[in-house]
A and B are shown apart, each in its own frame.
Chain A
């Protein structure tokens, strides 16, 4: 079968930031798991704003108190590992975070983030970004600026770009009557 492009969704809204300026950085280390982002005992909550009140509870208590709309999270390797709970990206969204930068992401968290409208950005030099510093993102140029330095960021897989352009998977799916089963997309 010939490789077909994924069905393009109508461009509805772009609520993922293509360029976000001067975001204050909350820096985290390697292997930040979704239990740390939102502990299991809060998973009966489904509302992002309520979840946000408990983000990083017990591991970094000042986060929920001091995080501001437009702040960014920067992690190390394997950010978002562990449970598939979508409550994790939702809690961050509820806290006003729109961008998470990391050297690498755990698979489910990466995909969940794109699906709900939180932008995961892979930057191999994320370790060089300091806590409390400001970063600016330019997706189109494929770069991230931190303290006057430019870092390269990795492109998002093509089939996921369609979801980002739609503004998340819900918006992407709304326009579909059926899906092209077994067609291949370029990665």
Chain B
């Protein structure tokens, strides 16, 4: 019987056949920590008797959640981590580069066939680069930093096969909101989700990242797209490595297979306060909103902002709405800047911030007051996620966010 892509990654790493359900102490190719989960991870590393990290070159460190430091506590956490980086010889991207997941992929720190952990649940995004990547807590990270290995229960894989061509203004975010609604908030717990099919093959890296990013919203341990031309093209200049074949065998044992048709898909909106509540935008058209956030590791790439700018055209954003736009990284910021989109957004009335998590986690700025409503391209709409627990967050694509920011209420982007 064949093997899934996840089973193959673990088997290759260990040089022995490893199947889903087995528990293995697997070696790590990378470990990512940021300003929120990093301080505790470092504390635990020391408490475990750690003195030297397993390999400073394999550790990815940066600050993105609370930058520039928005409180004395945040500033102190940054100082603590900088000290650790200096002491251990770890390259620290500090506050300069952007959101952890975007930076990890675009700096070539995640590559096909690798096993990577991150002290952040959306680490599953690196599956877009063909890696097996999963989010862990800070104590597990302390262990990972010290030993460069971690126990994994190798997950079974749900295969999500997508066919059909997207309509205009419909894309990866609408697809993943549909898949999340179908699989449910815990439908993929302890499992990996492999995205496949013609539609996924046609997606660019930005779209694949959006898909894999949200695997965790179904409880998924990892999301993954088997590496192909698009992946290897993207790796060029980021990582010196020869391409190789890595894909699930057709006769592999999958936990289940699900099929999706993108051609009839409408733009989707996830309604508060869960992510698996996606409905066609037509069901919520006209809903009042106070703030629109376009950004985050889910949808803060150049392609996302270009789509938003395209919807915007020569129009202006509604003056009653606060529009906050944040690129996922410095590279994406520069692309957006060079394409003239920032000027366009600012002229249209948006507030464009430097790359960071921004309002996504409700930790730093852009918080909601009680009773306020946000429409956001990020990945979570939990109660209180973006400020007051009496606020509401709707999730959507950059196109829907831009269209709604123009009209001032939730709007179908195909009609603007």
**Interface residues of A, Cβ cutoff 8 Å to B:** 1, 6, 31, 33, 35-36, 39-41, 43-46, 57-59, 77-78, 81-87, 89-90, 104, 106-108, 111-112, 115-116, 157-159, 168-170, 173-174, 176, 178-187
From B37, B48, B363, A170 is in contact (CB under 8 Å) with B48
A35–B73 Cα gap in the complex (Å)? Answer: 19
A25–B44 Cα gap in the complex (Å)? Answer: 30
Indicate whether A173 sits within 8 Å of B48 (C-beta atoms), given known contacts A40-B362, A86-B138.
yes
A85–B40 Cα gap in the complex (Å)? Answer: 10
A84–B382 Cα gap in the complex (Å)? Answer: 14
Taking CB atoms, residues of chain B closer than 8 Å to A187 are 21-23, 153
**Interface residues of B, Cβ cutoff 8 Å to A:** 13-16, 18, 21-27, 36-37, 39-40, 43-44, 47-49, 65-66, 71, 73-74, 77, 119-121, 123, 135-140, 142-143, 146-147, 149, 151, 153, 185-186, 189-190, 219, 221, 274, 361-363, 367, 380, 382-385, 388-390
Indicate whether A183 sits within 8 Å of B140 (C-beta atoms), given known contacts A59-B384, A170-B44, A173-B146.
no
Q: List, sorted by A's number, 22 A–B pairs whose CB atoms are closer than 8 Å.
A: A36-B383, A36-B384, A41-B367, A43-B36, A44-B66, A44-B73, A44-B77, A46-B40, A58-B390, A59-B389, A107-B189, A108-B121, A112-B137, A112-B138, A157-B153, A168-B139, A173-B146, A181-B14, A182-B14, A182-B15, A184-B24, A187-B21
Taking CB atoms, residues of chain A closer than 8 Å to B120 are 83-84
Assess whether B185 is in contact with A78, with CB atoms less than 8 Å apart. Answer: yes
Taking CB atoms, residues of chain B closer than 8 Å to A87 are 40
A179–B139 Cα gap in the complex (Å)? Answer: 16
Taking CB atoms, residues of chain A closer than 8 Å to B185 are 31, 78, 81
Indicate whether A108 sits within 8 Å of B136 (C-beta atoms), given known contacts A46-B39, A170-B44, A182-B14.
yes
Assess whether B16 is in contact with A84, with CB atoms less than 8 Å apart. Answer: no
From A36, A40, A111, A174, B140 is in contact (CB under 8 Å) with A111
Taking CB atoms, residues of chain B closer than 8 Å to A85 are 36-37, 137
Nearest CB on B from A78, distance (A)? 4
A173–B27 Cα gap in the complex (Å)? Answer: 16
| Residue of B185, B186, B380 most packed against chain A (CB within 10 A) | B186
Nearest CB on B from A150, distance (A)? 26
- SS class, residues of chain A in contact with chain B: loop
Taking CB atoms, residues of chain A closer than 8 Å to B388 are 58
Assess whether A107 is in contact with B190, with CB atoms less than 8 Å apart. Answer: yes
Taking CB atoms, residues of chain B closer than 8 Å to A82 are 121, 380, 382
Assess whether B186 is in contact with A86, with CB atoms less than 8 Å apart. Answer: no
A169–B389 Cα gap in the complex (Å)? Answer: 33
Indicate whether A183 sits within 8 Å of B385 (C-beta atoms), given known contacts A78-B186, A170-B47.
no
From B15, B18, B43, B66, A184 is in contact (CB under 8 Å) with B18
Nearest CB on B from A42, distance (A)? 9
Taking CB atoms, residues of chain B closer than 8 Å to A39 are 362, 384, 389
A6–B23 Cα gap in the complex (Å)? Answer: 9
Assess whether B22 is in contact with A111, with CB atoms less than 8 Å apart. Answer: no
Taking CB atoms, residues of chain B closer than 8 Å to A116 are 137, 139
- Closest 8 pairs (CB-CB, A-B): A58-B389, A44-B73, A112-B137, A78-B186, A115-B139, A182-B14, A173-B48, A40-B363
Assess whether A108 is in contact with B137, with CB atoms less than 8 Å apart. Answer: yes
From B25, B36, B153, A181 is in contact (CB under 8 Å) with B25
Indicate whether A35 sits within 8 Å of B380 (C-beta atoms), given known contacts A83-B121, A170-B47, A174-B48.
yes
A57–B49 Cα gap in the complex (Å)? Answer: 35
Assess whether A185 is in contact with B24, with CB atoms less than 8 Å apart. Answer: yes
Nearest CB on B from A122, distance (A)? 12
Taking CB atoms, residues of chain B closer than 8 Å to A157 are 23, 153
Assess whether B49 is in contact with A35, with CB atoms less than 8 Å apart. Answer: no
Residue in B closest to A61 when the chains form the complex, CB atoms: B389
Taking CB atoms, residues of chain B closer than 8 Å to A1 are 14, 16
Assess whether B385 is in contact with A104, with CB atoms less than 8 Å apart. Answer: no
| Residue of A86, A106, A179 most packed against chain B (CB within 10 A) | A86
Assess whether B361 is in contact with A40, with CB atoms less than 8 Å apart. Answer: yes
Given A6-B25, A43-B363, A169-B48, 11 further pairs, Cβ under 8 A? A39-B362, A44-B66, A59-B383, A170-B139, A173-B49, A181-B14, A181-B26, A181-B149, A182-B13, A182-B26, A185-B23
Assess whether B13 is in contact with A159, with CB atoms less than 8 Å apart. Answer: no
Taking CB atoms, residues of chain B closer than 8 Å to A111 are 136-137, 140
Residue in B closest to A1 when the chains form the complex, CB atoms: B16
From A31, A40, A84, B135 is in contact (CB under 8 Å) with A84
A176–B121 Cα gap in the complex (Å)? Answer: 27
A160–B362 Cα gap in the complex (Å)? Answer: 33
Nearest CB on A from B71, distance (A)? 6
Nearest CB on B from A142, distance (A)? 21
A83–B136 Cα gap in the complex (Å)? Answer: 10
Residue in B closest to A83 when the chains form the complex, CB atoms: B121
Taking CB atoms, residues of chain A closer than 8 Å to B140 are 111-112, 115, 169
Residue in A closest to B66 when the chains form the complex, CB atoms: A44
Taking CB atoms, residues of chain B closer than 8 Å to A83 are 120-121, 361, 380
Taking CB atoms, residues of chain B closer than 8 Å to A180 are 25
Residue in A closest to B36 when the chains form the complex, CB atoms: A43
Taking CB atoms, residues of chain B closer than 8 Å to A169 are 44, 48, 139-140, 142-143
